[in-house]
Amino acid sequence: MSIISKKVVNVKYTAAGHSDSQYFEIPAGTYRSITVSLAVGQSVEGSLLISGGLGNDVDFYIKTQTCSQRVTLSCKLVNARNVNGFAIVSLQSDGKEVWSNKYYVEANKSVPVYEHIDLPDCGDHTFGIVIAQQRA
């Protein structure tokens, strides 16, 4: 913020369905940041009221930090039956499907699966794999 004098800030915002308001002072020569985490397609809206100081000596920034993470999925699909078939492999993140692919597996054979799945955030997640079979 200002290197000349302290500022009084009143900020109100709504982000990802959560509303917040903050009122604080910022001493001369210092700064204050507010971090808001958003998922893809979410937005922030609100208002900012700054008072105090001399003239127009306020800097205000909105910075974005985009993030993604890569999940590696590795397994072997084994068809121990005498009939050719398909297996559908799904990756779930926090109980929701985020990726899926269908693999053909011949009778009494196996197919290695090695995939990289990119997720559009850097949050902590619980992952699970679901394998469903279909006969040809």
Where in the chain are the domains? 1-65, 69-135
CB atoms within 10 A of CB 64: 6
Q: How confident is the model at residue 68 (pLDDT cuts 50, 70, 90)?
A: confident
Higher pLDDT, 88 or 37: 88
Q: Computed from CA positions of residues 123, 129, 130, 134, in that sequence, does the dihedral angle turn out positive or negative?
A: positive
Cross-strand pairs, 87: 103, 133
Per-residue pLDDT at 1 = 45
Q: Summarize pLDDT for 4-61 with one digit per residue, the tens.
A: 678 888 888 888 888 889 888 888 777 788 888 777 777 888 887 878 766 566 667 6
Amino acid in position 134: Q
User: Which CATH superfamily, name and number, covers 69-135?
Assistant: Immunoglobulins (2.60.40.10)
Q: What is the pTM of this model?
A: 0.51
**Looking at 39-43, 87-91, 129-133, which range is the least confident one?**
39-43
* Strand 69-79 to 44-51 pairing: unpaired
